């Protein structure tokens, strides 16, 4: 695993560019304020990120590769997409858990299409978010209508992703 991959260099370039903008707009006080705010946010989430990545590593190590390959791998077909969507639907966590979990699924032998279905389902259909946030804030008629309308989207996106990977477009 490369520590300084393209993501690092992109984020570093963005940091330098935004720092220059902050300096030009408000000088060193604005830059210092912005950097201290970013550091506070990092400290707030660092432990959660660390624990989430440990969970993802454990999931990857504990899930039998043979099972992941057969249940979510390239030959899993529609059942794999449906299973991945179901797992995304019940994953009770934010991106600090779901994204490392998705990465762990890929490393454990899940097909990219299944992981697309998982991520799409987690983003669109997560039950915990529907119950805790959407119904109370948006009302049951709207929240449930939106949820039902999105039910088939993760499987469709997984199927589309499978076509992209097979065509070599990704």
Residue in the block written with tokens 């119904």: 135
The pLDDT, as a whole number, for residue 94 is 81
Please state the φ and ψ torsions of residue 168, each to the nearest 5 degrees.
75, 15
Distance CA 49, CA 125 (A): 23
The pLDDT, as a whole number, for residue 53 is 79
SS3 state of residue 141: helix
Look at residue 60 and tell me whether its pLDDT is greater than 80. no
Look at residue 71 and tell me whether its pLDDT is greater than 70. yes
**Quick one: which of 46, 45, 55, 154 has its CA closest to 100?**
55
Look at residue 3 and tell me whether its pLDDT is greater than 80. no
Report the predicted TM-score, pTM, of the whole model to 2 decimal places: 0.75
pLDDT tens column, 78-116: 999 999 999 999 998 788 788 888 988 998 899 999 999
Distance CA 57, CA 100 (A): 8
Average pLDDT over residues 63-92: 93
- Percentage above 90 pLDDT, the chain: 64
């Amino acid at each position: 695993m490369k520590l300084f991959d393209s993501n690092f260099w992109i984020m570093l370039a963005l940091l330098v560019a935004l720092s220059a903008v902050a300096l030009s707009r408000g000088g060193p006080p604005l830059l210092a304020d912005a950097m201290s705010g970013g550091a506070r946010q990092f400290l707030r989430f660092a432990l959660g990120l660390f624990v989430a990545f440990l969970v993802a590593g454990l999931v990857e190590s504990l899930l039998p590769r043979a099972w992941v390959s057969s249940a979510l791998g390239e030959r899993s077909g529609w059942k794999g997409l449906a299973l991945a969507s179901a797992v995304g639907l019940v994953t009770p966590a934010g991106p600090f858990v779901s994204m490392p979990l998705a990465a762990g699924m890929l490393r454990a032998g899940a097909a990219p299409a299944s992981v697309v279905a998982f991520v799409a389902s987690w983003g669109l259909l997560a039950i915990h978010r529907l119950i805790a946030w959407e119904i109370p804030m948006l009302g049951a008629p709207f929240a449930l209508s939106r949820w039902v309308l999105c039910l088939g989207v993760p499987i469709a996106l997984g199927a589309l992703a499978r076509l992209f990977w097979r065509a070599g477009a990704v």
